[in-house]
C-alpha cells in the first residue's frame, strides 16, 4: 500500500475528431481583471490558475488556446447528454428563432408536450408538473406545497444534504460551508445522516437501515407536534460526497413520514435523468414512491430549467392562491428539456451510464486496494464518490490530498 500517486501514471485522453473554433475574444487576463472589478467576489473559480473554457463538444471542453479537457464534472452534473449536443442545439436554435419567451399565461405547445414527456417517465400518479428555473427554486416550492397541502409546518431533512441556497432552501442545506448566519432554519430539523461509512452504524450491522430510519421517527416524536409537512432528501447525497444510504432506508423513512401525515419529497436534482445508471430516477434504487420530486441540473443540459412533479391531489391544494413565475416553462428551455429526454432514449444513455459507471467503480476499487489514502469508494452509475482519508482507521478526511488531485 502506498500514499503517493505517481504523476507519470496519469493517462492522456484519447484522440477526438473535433476542431474547436479559433478563439478571438478578450484575453484570459482581461477576463480575470473584469471579473475582479465587476463580479461579486463570492463568485469563485476552481484551481490556483483558473481555467477559461470557451467551447464544448460532448464530453470535452476547450480553453482559449484550443487545449482539450475531459469534463468529468459534466458542467457541475448538468451536461448529461454532452456539451452542445447537436440535437439539443438544433432544438434550442429553432425555438429561439421562432419565439424566445412566452409566459404560461398564454398557450404554447412545447411546455404542454414536454410536461407529458416528463410525467411519462414518473410513477403513475406523479402526474402534475410545475416548471421553475433552478434546483433551489424547485425545493423551495416543494417545501411550500408540502406545507400548504398538509397544513403542517415541520420539515425533516438529513445532515450533510444540499438542497440549494435560497432563503428557505439554505435551511434544508446541512453543511456549514453553504450556510450564512441570518436565521433560515424555521421548522426544519436535521436528522442524523444515514452514512454507513462515517456514521455510527455500517452495512455490517443488522437492521442498519432501520437504525438510521428510527432517527426520523425520534425527531417526529420528540421535536415536532407529531405531525409534519414532510421529509426531504436526495436519493444519493451529491454535494455531501456521494453518500449512499443503506438498502431499504428511504422505504422505512417513508412509512414514518406518512404515519406523521407528511409528504416524502425526493430531490433528484443530481440523481435524476439516469445519472445512477440503474434507474431513470435515483429513488428507484430505494424502491420508494415519493409524493413530490424536484428536478434540475441535467433536465435541460445546461439551460435554466427545473421542475416540481407531484400528484394531482397535492397540486390541487396549491391552487388556493395564485402562484406565478416569469421565466418558468419558457419555450426555449422546454425545447431543450424535450431534446434531452429524446437523446437519453435514442442513445440509450441509461445503459451507457450503468456500463461506464460499473467500469469506473471497478477501476476505483482496484486503486483502493493499492492506495491507503482511498478510504472508501461508493456510488452508482456516474454518481460516484472516492473518500480520501489520512488514516483508514480514523477516517479523517484528507482534504489536502483532494486539493492536490484536483489541481493535477
Ligand atoms: C441535490 C441538489 N439540490 C438542489 C441544488 C440546487 O440547485 P441550483 O443550484 O440549481 O439552485 C443542487 C445544486 O447543486 C443540488 O445538488
Rounded distance from Cα 2 to ligand 1 centre (Å): 36
Q: Is 302 in the pocket of ligand 1 (CB under 6 A)?
A: no
pLDDT at 12: 85
Q: Is 296 in the pocket of ligand 1 (CB under 6 A)?
A: yes
Task: Give how far Cα 235 sits from Cα of 61, 303, 372, Å.
Answer: 29, 23, 29
Which of 47, 71, 95 marks a domain boundary?
71
Residues 58 and 135 in one domain: no
**Which pLDDT band, with edges at 50, 70 and 90, does 75 fall under?**
confident
**Which pLDDT band, with edges at 50, 70 and 90, does 11 fall under?**
confident
The atom number, within ligand 1, closest to the CA of 135 reads 7
Residues 130 and 277 in one domain: yes
CA quadruple 246, 252, 257, 260: dihedral positive or negative?
negative
Residues 135 and 239 in one domain: yes
Q: Is 161 in the pocket of ligand 1 (CB under 6 A)?
A: no
Number of domains in the chain: 2
Sheet with 230-234, strands from edge to edge, namely 128-132, 306-310, 292-295, 263-267, 230-234, 155-158, 188-191
Q: Please determine, for residue 306, whether its predicted confidence score (pLDDT) is greater than 90.
A: yes
Average pLDDT over residues 120-134: 97
Protein residue with least CA distance to atom 7, ligand 1? 135
Residues 58 and 180 in one domain: no
pLDDT per position as a tens digit, 392-401: 999 999 999 9
Which of 71, 99, 117 marks a domain boundary?
71
Average pLDDT over residues 61-90: 96
Residue range(s) defining the domain that contains residue 31:
12-71
Q: Please determine, for residue 2, whether its predicted confidence score (pLDDT) is greater than 80.
A: no
Amino acid at each position: 500500500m502506498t500514499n503517493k500517486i505517481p504523476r507519470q501514471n496519469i493517462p492522456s485522453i484519447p484522440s477526438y475528431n473535433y476542431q474547436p473554433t479559433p478563439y478571438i475574444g478578450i484575453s484570459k487576463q482581461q477576463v480575470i481583471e473584469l471579473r475582479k472589478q465587476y463580479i461579486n467576489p463570492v463568485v469563485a473559480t476552481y484551481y490556483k490558475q483558473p481555467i477559461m473554457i470557451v467551447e464544448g463538444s460532448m464530453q470535452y471542453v476547450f480553453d482559449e488556446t484550443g487545449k482539450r479537457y475531459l469534463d468529468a464534472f459534466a458542467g457541475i452534473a448538468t451536461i448529461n447528454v454532452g456539451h452542445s449536443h447537436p440535437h439539443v442545439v438544433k432544438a434550442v436554435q429553432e425555438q429561439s428563432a421562432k419565439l424566445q419567451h412566452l409566459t404560461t399565461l398564454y398557450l404554447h405547445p412545447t411546455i404542454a408536450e414536454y410536461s407529458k414527456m416528463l410525467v411519462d417517465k414518473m410513477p403513475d400518479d406523479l402526474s402534475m408538473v410545475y416548471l421553475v428555473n433552478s434546483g433551489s427554486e424547485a425545493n423551495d416550492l416543494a417545501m411550500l406545497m408540502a406545507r400548504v397541502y398538509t397544513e403542517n409546518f415541520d420539515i425533516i431533512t438529513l445532515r450533510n444534504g444540499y438542497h440549494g441556497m435560497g432563503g428557505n432552501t439554505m435551511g434544508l442545506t446541512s453543511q456549514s460551508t453553504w450556510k450564512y448566519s441570518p436565521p433560515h432554519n424555521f421548522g426544519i430539523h436535521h436528522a442524523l445522516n444515514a452514512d454507513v461509512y462515517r456514521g455510527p452504524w455500517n452495512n455490517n450491522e443488522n437492521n442498519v437501515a432501520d437504525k438510521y430510519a428510527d432517527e426520523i421517527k425520534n425527531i417526529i416524536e420528540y421535536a415536532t407536534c407529531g405531525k409534519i409537512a414532510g421529509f426531504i432528501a436526495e436519493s444519493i447525497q451529491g454535494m455531501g460526497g456521494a453518500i449512499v444510504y443503506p438498502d431499504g432506508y428511504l422505504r422505512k423513512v417513508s412509512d414514518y413520514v406518512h404515519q406523521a401525515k407528511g409528504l416524502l419529497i425526493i430531490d433528484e436534482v443530481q440523481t435524476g435523468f439516469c445519472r445512477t445508471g440503474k434507474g431513470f430516477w435515483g429513488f428507484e434504487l430505494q424502491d420508494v414512491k415519493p409524493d413530490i420530486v424536484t428536478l434540475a441540473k441535467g433536465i435541460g443540459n445546461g439551460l435554466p430549467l427545473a421542475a416540481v412533479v407531484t400528484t394531482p391531489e397535492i397540486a390541487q391544494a396549491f391552487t388556493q392562491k395564485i402562484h406565478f413565475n416569469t421565466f418558468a416553462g419558457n419555450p426555449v428551455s422546454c425545447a431543450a428539456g424535450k431534446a434531452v429526454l429524446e437523446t437519453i432514449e435514442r442513445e440509450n444513455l441509461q445503459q451507457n451510464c450503468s456500463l461506464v459507471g460499473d467500469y469506473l467503480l471497478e477501476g476505483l476499487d482496484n486503486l483502493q486496494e493499492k492506495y491507503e489514502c482511498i478510504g472508501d469508494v461508493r456510488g452508482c452509475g456516474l454518481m460516484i464518490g472516492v473518500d480520501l482519508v489520512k488514516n483508514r482507521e480514523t477516517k479523517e478526511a484528507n482534504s489536502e490530498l483532494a486539493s492536490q488531485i484536483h489541481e493535477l
